[in-house]
Amino acid sequence: MDGPDLEFSSAFNDKYSALTKRIIRELSNNARVPVNRLAVLAGSYRRMVSQKLKQAEEQLGIKYTMELNEQKLGLSNGHLILAKFLKKPEPEKLARILASSHVPQIAATLKGHYDLMIYANAQSGSEYVHWDKITQIRLSEYGVLWEPSDVAHRQLGFILLRNELLQRLDLPDEYRSIMLLLNQNSRLSFSDMSKKLNMHFNTVAYRFNKLVESKYIKRFTISMDPVPGTKMLAVAGKYIMKDNFESDASVSRKALMDDDKSPIASRYVVVNQLVGSYDFFSMGIFDSYDAAITHDLRYYKKAMHRHLVRAKYAEVDRVILGRLPIRSVDNRKEYDTIRWTTDNYNVSD
């Protein structure tokens, strides 16, 4: 395909040592790995790994958390809302409105075609739609254009669920308290959990193991603050689809799966297939706004131009609720592909 290069390197990754990047990758895959084992996996000494880890925690704002199985937890499909205001509310006002409910999990202000992005989830469709309408009413004084979509398939990334939602779920009592603790810090030792819960060590260990066996937790992982010196671009696309959609989508898919050889954070944080106002959504990390436009937006529009793609985009400005799922994983292995074939409507790999 003529146009922007598919393969390129991000300079922000060069600011971090190879050891730091290996540590981040291992913790992204298993946040509970002990330091001794982490040192073996990273190919270094325990003392050096401990020092690098402490530095990374401070510089990158690492939070130890969980990637949860939303369906197993009894949640409905997630919802992505993109909003534009005639008169922008103060971020603090937006944060207060959104934090007053357990339904929104992540919210960030944007600069571009949209002013606000929200990821929401609820226990039922009626609970979600009630929040949706009430929130629009509360924001009506700002002239809000509200464009929601269902997250039908998540190809990359995960969503950090707030404890305000988790504590409302119909979970066995023996799991709930431990899950809430681990959602705040998934590296807590059994001893620390025992003290916080006023529970015997052996009971904590038993319930933890049963919780892991329950499959509510997909992975213990991390979330980092936005990487210093980078820009994050959110892109939403709507198509008029034609028969050759899969061949063009496969070209676009290559960029979403591509990454630096050894990144401090995966280039693409989230990739979703949507149903509703938009068909597609991605969020990526780049050296600059110009680099994001060149390597993300232009490549995407070029790949999908035959389907008259309408792409809206915005720079992520400020996270006002929850945390973005920024971590370092192998996007090529993680990517959950759907093949858009007409002979089989349920083909995935």
Q: How much is the pLDDT for 349?
A: 46
- Give 158's DSSP letter: -
Beta strands in 61-166 (DSSP E): 63-68, 79-85, 104-112, 116-120, 144-156
Q: Which residues of the chain have pLDDT under 70?
A: 1-6, 342-349
Amino acid at 86: L
Q: How much is the pLDDT for 173?
A: 86
Residue 152, helix vs strand vs coil: strand
Domain 14-60 and domain 79-160+225-334, same fold? Reply is no
DSSP per residue over 231-272, as a string? EEEEEEEE----TTHHHHHHHHHHHHH---SS-SS-SEEEEE
CATH number of 79-160+225-334: 3.30.70.920
Q: List for the chain the helix, strand, coil content (%; round to 5).
A: 40, 25, 35
The residue extents of the domains of the chain are 14-60, 79-160+225-334, 172-215
HSE (CB half, 13 Å, CA atoms) of 15? 13
CATH number of 14-60: 1.10.10
Instruction: Please check whether the domain covering 172-215 is classified as CATH 3.30.460.
Output: no
Tell the residue number behind the tokens 């696309």, with chain if given.
237
Q: How much is the pLDDT for 345?
A: 53
Other residues' Cβ atoms within 10 Å of the Cβ of residue 90:
9
